[in-house]
Amino acid sequence: MPAFVAVDLGATSGRVMLGDVRGGEITLTEVRRFPTGPRERPGGGLRWDVDEMYGEILAGLRDTADAHPVSIGIDSWAVDYGLIGPDGTLDGDVRCYRDPRTAGMAQRLRESVDDATLYRITGLQYLPFNTIYQLLAEPPDRLVDKTMLLLPDLIGYWLTGEQGAEVTNASTTALLDATTRQWSAELLERTPIPGTLLPPLRLPGTRIGEGPGGTPVVAVASHDTASAVAAVPASGERFGYISCGTWSLVGLELPSPVLTEAAREANFTNEAGIDGTVRFLRNTMGLWLLSESMRVWREQGLDMRLSDVLAQAMAEPAFRSIVDPDSPEFLPPGDMPARIAAACAGSGQPVPQSPPAVARTILESLAVAHAASLRTASRLSGRELEVVHLVGGGALNEPLCQFTADACGLPVLAGPVEASALGNVFVQARAAGVVADAPVAAPLARYEPRGGTAAWESAARRVGLR
Ligand code: LRH
């Protein structure tokens, strides 16, 4: 039975998984799990401990050796990178996208490239941490003589010695042309970012090189969201997806980018998917709001499990207070419950007074945002939706799945939970000629919409979500 190793790095935990393929079906086994979360370096900003992550990955790979894997693939969150110097070593830290160092960089870029031009070229939604803004925040001489490797490409380089940029993740940098899928010569000309920084592009399914024990390392859809969407068990075209974990990535799979002014104004992104597909989606802050709240409550001495907080949240009154999950103040780590309280007070709504009340606000607000993004995606693309696939860790959050079905007025099919790892294995197995079709995983659960969507739409209007 051929086996493939998926290294799947998330913003709170990383996993090394073994994917066995039998009769076209992929079964995943977790070999190793380790925490990844960003750390503050005193005076040096928020960064990822990539050395520790790499040690964990190597340990996980050693544990898979007995399965004699056909290949290894790596995916992770987008946009963050390491700089490799002329001597081939990592120069400095890999900074976390939640670091506020990019403040003011959008304005600086506008001096040479206006927003409409940037969108026409890249099709990328404005997010303050897009790689282009992170690079502009670097001292310019730091970029001279360097090669930028996005995180999965950096791990791939350490494993094989080969440098490159996998295209699904490269599309999140705002340096890739969404139409040609090449680095944009126009942007390189008009910004101080040196073209020499960007390594050659590679497509999902190409061999990167030889890894530990001679096992090939294969480029997968190395952006975790691209891998997750490749694993959405949908049939037909009329589906929306929510890749729900730290972030909720909410949108549609399309054959070509939507680069209209309306799409730009709605802040929709056109990220590159496998086989030339486009992920037309909007980022919503996601379960980060809840996990960061839980972290703060625990620090304050709360002794409750997430499942208890969620159960008690269901006993709280409906629609008491709604926030826009994408308000910029929710992006950095910190006292999330206090920020949510301030947002409620600031919009004249009752301030949630307990962890379950805050959790209720978060769950309803996320569902409101999910529905708003799907409605907008459908309007902008002209595609009608019949069903929503919610994949990733959020598929285990029953209240969120139910509220999302209610707010969208559409059935929600939840699962698979490990969608990124599944998509990762799928691309490797296809490259090896072992499978042909996208993985089909039985949904964990189906949530039918209850009642009409009017109350949800009015909640959305309260915070100006469209
Ligand atoms: C999800 C994700 C998302 C990006 C963000 C930085 O893990 O890759 O698609 O926008 O992290």
Summarised one tens digit per residue, pLDDT across range 63-80 is 999 999 999 999 999 999
Q: Which atom of ligand 1 sits closest to the CA of residue 243?
A: 1
The ipTM (two decimal places) reads 0.99
Give the integer Cα–Cα distance in Å for 186 and 235.
38
Q: For residue 442, what pLDDT is reported?
A: 74
Q: Are strands 387-391 and 412-414 parallel, antiparallel or unpaired?
A: parallel
For residue 131, give the nearest of 151, 161, 158 by alpha carbon.
151
Tokens 């503050």 belong to residue: 40
Distance of CA 46 to the CA centre of its chain: 18
Q: Whose CA is nearest to atom 4 of ligand 1?
A: 78
Q: Which atom of ligand 1 sits closest to the CA of residue 129?
A: 6
| Spatial contact of 255 and 276, defined as CB atoms under 8 Å apart | yes
Category of 415 on φ-ψ map: left (φ > 0), alpha (ψ -120 to 50) or beta: left
Regions of the chain where pLDDT drops below 70: none
| Spatial contact of 380 and 260, defined as CB atoms under 8 Å apart | yes
CA–centroid distance, 4 to ligand 1, in Å, is 24
Q: Which atom of ligand 1 sits closest to the CA of residue 78?
A: 8
CA distance between the termini of the chain: 48
Q: For residue 443, what pLDDT is reported?
A: 75
* Cα-Cα-Cα-Cα dihedral sign, residues 131, 93, 247, 203: positive
Give the integer Cα–Cα distance in Å for 60 and 75.
15
- Judging by beta carbons within 10 Å of its beta carbon (0-12, 13-18, 19+), is residue 162 exposed, middle or buried? middle
Q: For residue 44, what pLDDT is reported?
A: 79
- Judging by beta carbons within 10 Å of its beta carbon (0-12, 13-18, 19+), is residue 180 exposed, middle or buried? exposed
- Residue 108's φ and ψ, nearest 5 degrees, are -65, -40
* Cα-Cα-Cα-Cα dihedral sign, residues 334, 335, 340, 345: negative
Q: Whose CA is nearest to atom 7 of ligand 1?
A: 77
Mutating to test ligand 1, I would choose from 9, 15, 77, 80 the residue with most ligand atoms within 8 A of its C-beta, which is 77
CA–centroid distance, 248 to ligand 1, in Å, is 9
CA–centroid distance, 78 to ligand 1, in Å, is 5
**Is the C-beta atom of 133 inside 6 A of ligand 1?**
no
Give the three-state DSSP class for 63.
Answer: helix
Q: For residue 3, what pLDDT is reported?
A: 97
Q: Is 224 tagged catalytic?
A: yes
Tokens 């480029």 belong to residue: 219
Question: What separation in angstroms does the CA of 46 have from each of 62, 79, 83, 288, 296?
Answer: 30, 14, 16, 16, 18
- Give helix then strand counts, H and E, for the chain: 16, 21
CA–centroid distance, 77 to ligand 1, in Å, is 5
Give the three-state DSSP class for 234.
Answer: coil
Amino acid at site 172: T
Q: Whose CA is nearest to atom 6 of ligand 1?
A: 78
Percent helix, strand, coil in the chain (nearest 5)? 40, 20, 40
Active-site residue, from 80, 224, 324, 326: 224
Q: Whose CA is nearest to atom 9 of ligand 1?
A: 225
CA–centroid distance, 31 to ligand 1, in Å, is 23
Sketch out the chain's domains with CATH numbers: 3-218 (3.30.420.40), 232-415+436-466 (3.30.420.40)
**Is the C-beta atom of 224 inside 6 A of ligand 1?**
yes
**Is the C-beta atom of 124 inside 6 A of ligand 1?**
no
